[in-house]
Structure 1
Amino acid sequence: MKLVMALIVAMILNMRLKGINLFRTVYYLPSIMGGSVAISILWRFMFMKEGMLNKMLGAVYIPAVDWLGDPDIALVTISLLVIWQFGSSMVLFLAGLKNVPTELYEAASVDGANKWVQFWNITFPMLTPVVFFNLIMQIIHALQEFTSAFIITNGGPNHGTYLMGVKIYEDAFQNLKMGYASASSWVMFVAILLITLLVFRSSSAWVFYNDGGMD
């Protein structure tokens, strides 16, 4: 979801519009601030039972939602903060879009291809190396996520947001079980390694390079 949002915004910011550089800067700011404790605290106040979002919903007569108290919704709320931090992926996609030869689009337009056909047959294949890199980095980041779950919900409610990073922290620094924390860290490392290797193995089927070959 995060990569999809980053790609959509990158395609919008790739358009030649007035003041587009300012918009590019604004969209990148969440990636600079998003992982901080301050932003996590702000997120908690926004989504708490009496928070800003529920007040906005109440203004249009929509019942308040227990964003952080419902185990089925809390993880989604935490994930929204992570998705919001798509600036770094967006910048890479934007750089990739700049490297797509315009001659390919011109030739496709002459052949009568619409924008959707051009995207699936030109833009996306040319961006697959960037997609591959972003996918690897986001998998690693997602499995190591800690700050948002710890600050906003502290792993609750009912362990609904009890991520691996929170467990390792509690074992090591609250329960002083350094052995358990070390073992959990190795489990996380092996999980990241296996998933990364799986993505690398699959890349030969869908990652294309400018020379016309695949990985």
Structure 2
Amino acid sequence: MNWLIDFFGDPANWSGPDGIPVRLLEHLQFSALSLLLAVLIALPLGLWIGHTGKGALFAVLSANAARALPTLGLLVLIVLLMGVGTDIPVLIPLVALAVPPILVNTYEGIRGVDPELRDAAYGMGLRGGQVLGRVLVPVALPLILLGLRIAAIQVVSTATVAAYVGLGGLGRFIIDGLATKDFPRTIGGAVLVALLALAVQLGFTFIQRLVVSPGVSERQAVR
């Protein structure tokens, strides 16, 4: 506890290029951009696969293969190939980490919608895109958001690896603290990452309550 007081109570840790606000902003930039790229890749693909049923096996196998990639090892390899002049080396492994839960949960959410609802929508004269947007996505939204939440928490927690290759983020406190045996700095950095992951969890809980229909939530609870 004294170490946390030493870290958070030191004004030097709240200002300058190595201060908490700057490192937090860097961490959020890595995480937000990685998550956005993963969403742009995985969400449309998951919707299409879940709606059409095409490419499901390939998607699942690819997602499982991506999960098996060692994030730190991939980061180091990319840095060796590309250098550290940009943020791209850290974005690639983080995107690879975030795509699988988004893709699989979106696909499973769409595929798991009651076939009777799908048939009823077609019976009302809706077409493929309308069925997907008006019926399937709203019903599958809890599972889709779950995939986004898992991906976001994983990215926020894993973005600390950027510090291993000299980039910024909250991982700098952990890596630099270990290198200099400054344990208050190391523990403070770990606490900041944990708090950020918790904030992401709470944020997605709020978003789900805001955007998911109460009827869909009750249906999920009954299941």
- The structure in which a higher percent of residues are helix is 2
**In structure 2, which of residues 178, 185, 198 is the aligned counterpart of residue 180 of structure 1?**
185
Asked whether the 8 Å contact 2:75–2:90 carries over to 1, the reply is no
Asked whether the 8 Å contact 2:160–2:169 carries over to 1, the reply is no
**In structure 2, which of residues 183, 199, 202 is the aligned counterpart of residue 197 of structure 1?**
202
**In structure 2, which of residues 121, 140, 158 is the aligned counterpart of residue 108 of structure 1?**
121
**Following superposition of structure 1 onto structure 2, how do residues 146-161 of structure 1 map, counting pairs within 5 Å?**
146=159, 148-151=161-164, 153-155=165-167
Instruction: Compute the displacement of 1:100 (Å).
Output: 0.9
Helix, strand or coil for the counterpart of 1:202? helix
Corresponding residue of 1:170: 176
State how far apart, in whole Å, the 2-side matches of 1:175 and 1:110 are: 68
Asked whether the 8 Å contact 1:132–1:203 carries over to 2, the reply is yes
Asked whether the 8 Å contact 1:31–1:87 carries over to 2, the reply is yes
| Number of residues of Structure 1 aligned to a counterpart in Structure 2 | 181
- Taking a change above 3 Å as real, the CA distance of residues 76 and 126 of structure 1, as seen in their structure-2 partners, is farther
What is the TM-score of this pair, normalised by structure 2? Answer: 0.67
State how far apart, in whole Å, the 2-side matches of 1:16 and 1:196 are: 31
Corresponding residue of 2:67: 31
Q: Unaligned stretches of 5+ in structure 2?
A: 1-35
State how far apart, in whole Å, the 2-side matches of 1:33 and 1:213 are: 32
- Taking a change above 3 Å as real, the CA distance of residues 119 and 45 of structure 1, as seen in their structure-2 partners, is farther
Instruction: Compute the displacement of 1:185 (Å).
Output: 2.1
Q: Unaligned stretches of 5+ in structure 1?
A: 49-67, 156-161
Instruction: Compute the displacement of 1:210 (Å).
Output: 6.1
State how far apart, in whole Å, the 1-side matches of 2:208 and 2:59 are: 33
Corresponding residue of 2:134: 121
Instruction: Compute the displacement of 1:213 (Å).
Output: 8.3
Task: Output the amino acid matched with 1:97.
Answer: I
Task: Output the amino acid matched with 2:194.
Answer: F
1:24-67 deviation per Cα after TM superposition (whole angstroms, max 9, x unaligned):
31343112115241x2233224434xxxxxxxxxxxxxxxxxxx
Instruction: Compute the displacement of 1:78 (Å).
Output: 2.2
Corresponding residue of 1:82: 94
Helix, strand or coil for the counterpart of 1:33? coil
Percent of paired sites with the same residue? 13
Corresponding residue of 1:3: 39
Task: Output the amino acid matched with 2:143.
Answer: V
Corresponding residue of 1:130: 143
What is the TM-score of this pair, normalised by structure 1? Answer: 0.69
